[in-house]
Amino acid sequence: MDIEDDKNERVKLMTIHTSKGLEFPYVFLSGFSDGVLPSAMSIKERRKRALEEERRLAYVAITRAEKAFYMTESEGYNFTTGMNKYPSRFLFEISDNFFVRQGELSQKIIDEAKEHIRLETERLNRQEEQFEVDDIVNHSIFGKGKILTVDEEKGEYQIYFEERDITKPINFEFRGLTKLTEIEELNETNNDE
């Protein structure tokens, strides 16, 4: 058999990025799960901006198919994210009229996935409100403090609390932290005098 004659009868594996601008009769997107697409690492590093980029990437994958597009996902545990696997949040943005589902996706998994997506969206929104170095904040227990460092990798701030003369690590997720505006700082200073 001549290899050149059989050139078009092959499966081509590639990344979604590589497929940009190309079209194929059939396209398979395997592992269409949250944490893979959208990528958990991408979202952790670039937050909401990454989510929009990942959504565009999913669109690129879907629109590469000329005749048919297949996406696969499986239930189980995702060792990348350290959580249960759920279908990609982008799947829930596609109307059921546009695809035929093969296999059973239990209502329990759908409900869990939607709750997971809701909680992740809330977390992203909180992270968008992140504090910066030199911000003056009020902690529900330690009082007024100044942000010394923002550690994206650990997901925490180092905050110096003047009244107690201590520096404490505070997790990004901690909800008892509010930024003091200049007016609130001035009022607090005047009340102390």
Which pLDDT score, from 0 to 100, does residue 1 have?
39
Q: What are phi and psi of 114, to 5 degrees?
A: -65, -40
- 153 touches 76 (CB < 8 A): no
Instruction: Confirm if 131 and 148 have CB atoms less than 8 A apart.
Output: no
pLDDT tens for the chain, residues 1 to 193: 345 555 667 888 999 999 999 999 999 998 888 888 888 777 766 666 778 889 999 999 999 999 999 998 877 877 766 778 888 889 888 888 888 888 887 888 889 888 988 888 777 776 656 788 999 999 989 999 999 999 877 878 999 999 999 999 998 878 788 888 755 555 555 555 5
The rounded distance, in Å, linking the Cα atoms of 20 and 166 is: 53
Does this model's pTM top 0.75? Answer: no
Tokens of 187: 């009022």
In this structure, whether the domain defined by 16-128 belongs to CATH 3.40.50.300 is answered with: yes
- Residue 48: CB partners within 8 Å, gap ≥ 6? 124, 128
**pLDDT at res. 152:** 77
Cβ contacts of 37-44, under 8 Å, gap ≥ 24: 37/61, 37/88, 37/90, 38/88, 38/89, 38/90, 40/80, 40/81, 43/120, 43/124
Q: Write down the residue that tokens 């396209």 correspond to.
A: 27
CA dist., res. 136 & res. 177, Å (int) = 10
